[in-house]
Amino acid sequence: MPVLKRPASASGLPSMKKPASHSSIKDVVSELKDSQKHDEDKEGSEEVARDKQKAQKFHKMLNQGSLPEHIVHMYNIEAKKSKDGARAFQTRLINSLFQKNKDGTFSVQTEKHEFQEYRKIYHQSIAKDKTEALPRTIMLASHFGGNEALMKKALDNGELVSKVDKQSNVEYLQFRKLTNAEVRGNEEGEHVAGSKKLSREQAHSLASVMAKLKWKFELSKAG
């Protein structure tokens, strides 16, 4: 009789995957707020000094460009949407992002659930909103066919923004590019152990249903 059997995962247990709706940005931001709520109740110079050290570490990494893109977006963009104010949100973000080690150094805690969930959302939707910039002459030739008046109109309308690179002293024209993308949800793993003997008709019926659900599986005969 046929046996329904799923391939083993890396941990040795079978794994099935099904579509799952992703967390909303509101949920992730709320989770970040709740995870740091206890910090607001702490007082004393030691706590203030710790916050200051974390802030210094954060801004150093920010200036070096070594922070993940989704963390920077949370700090710069999501903070402005917070009902508690941008500064309060940024403080919670910094406090949650860093952990002080016994030797006085700091570890970046990007593996925390709230940061991982926001990373998924960011790369599925937010990251589709991009800003591009080209040197003025290249922009004129590639996007406006050499029509200076048309490019000036785009500048006057705010569709293009002029920026000067301080190192090269070259003028760049920057524009915003939006890409529409439908997010259908991320995958959620589910581990199930064991097997069950089925009739041929039952096995193929179940196989048809699971295929529609896009679950991964294999059919094999009993040994």
Convert the pLDDT of each residue in 116-165 to its tens digit.
988 888 877 665 667 789 999 999 999 999 999 999 999 999 889 999 98
SS3 123: helix
* Percent over 70 (pLDDT), the chain: 55
pLDDT-based confidence at 204, cuts 50/70/90? low
The CA distance from 120 to 70, in Å, is: 9
The phi-psi region of residue 41 (left if phi > 0; otherwise alpha if psi is between -120 and 50; otherwise beta) is alpha
pTM of the model: 0.43
Q: Residue 32: exposed, middle, or buried by beta-carbon count in 10 A (0-12, 13-18, 19+)?
A: buried
Torsion of CA 27, 30, 32, 35, to 10 degrees: -120
